[in-house]
A and B are shown apart, each in its own frame.
Chain A
Amino acid sequence: MSDRREANLLLLFITVLVLLNYPLLSLVDRQDRWLGFPALYFYLFFVWLGLIVAVALVVRKRKK
């Protein structure tokens, strides 16, 4: 179980590492507005929140 959890967390790290760096970042580095927020601002906080939720889901206690 913990092996799978560790692997998931590592994958999460790599995924977010890619999402938060160039070249992907250059796609959203624009003067656009999304839902009223600046595109980049929206994107960074959205990925950030996603990371937090994902970590919380992965480490939550095992229930059977």
Chain B
Amino acid sequence: MEKTISMTNRKRITFNEFWDKYSTVSILILMALLFGALEPRAFLNGKNLIKIVEQSSITILLACGEFFAILLAGIDLSVGSTMAFTGVITAKLMVAGYSPWLAVFIGTLLLGALIGLINGLLINITHLPPFIITLGTQSIIRGLTMVVANARTVSGIEISFVKGIGGKIFGIIPTPILIALITAGILVFFTTQTQAGRNLYAIGGNTKSAWFSGINVNLHTAIAFMISGVCSGLAGMVNIARLAGAEPNAGTGYETYAIAAVIIGGTSFFGGVGFIPKVVVGGLIIGVINNGLNMVGVSSYYQQIAMGALIIVAVTLDRFFGSSNKSK
């Protein structure tokens, strides 16, 4: 009986299967074609496309981290604040005379991991939903950032850092996107090839089964949020390099972009289902929409409306045709 079902499936690709596999890429292509048709000259030229990719790099980095929180059927609302905080600290360290390497190591990577660890520990200890915990830490971190930066932009960042991280390689490939893609690449390896990655999918699919199968749920939860913190840190690093300064209110509302990219990338909000490359495409889609609407001359207020609508449409389609529907 089961055999006959799989046979008929092989003959005809249903819309469900198509959607499951190619939804994210299809949306990206559709969006690009749409804007290309509306504004062929301004949108569809090499320079602009590179610009889109560069602008998307921060969303992609944040989304890669957010992916892990959502994979565990949770959420991380603190990514935008963490990005600002790590950016400010990294900048301050450089201004204080530390080498960019050391500043990045402490202010970006260690601090990002520490914030993620605190999120994870709070979730493990209180057993409160990640939504509540990260809603709290989001505000705390933003406040800390304002205090540390004295609510002013930290400027005077080492120029070699600005050129190195915020510039272009061979004068054409933006370094930020390289950083984003390398990060994504490492995380693809981590999620698909390592046992820890497999365990995270297991916890996301069924936390209790994971516990009864011998997986240390608390440890893995902490790690997932630490990855999110480090990714936010990297986004903060890229951001201050691109702007040559660290604004304490950077990344406000970016958690929405990150969550949108993860979800448009087909990650199930119910946990346990998702694939990082699709999340990267999700980040690009958001870049295309923002840039495309700009090119067409739509005000940024309408851009927010479009973004919100896209999230709802993408999740609705996923709910009815995607893998989260199947796993019910």
A, B co-complexed? no
**Interface residues of A, Cβ cutoff 8 Å to B:** none
**Interface residues of B, Cβ cutoff 8 Å to A:** none
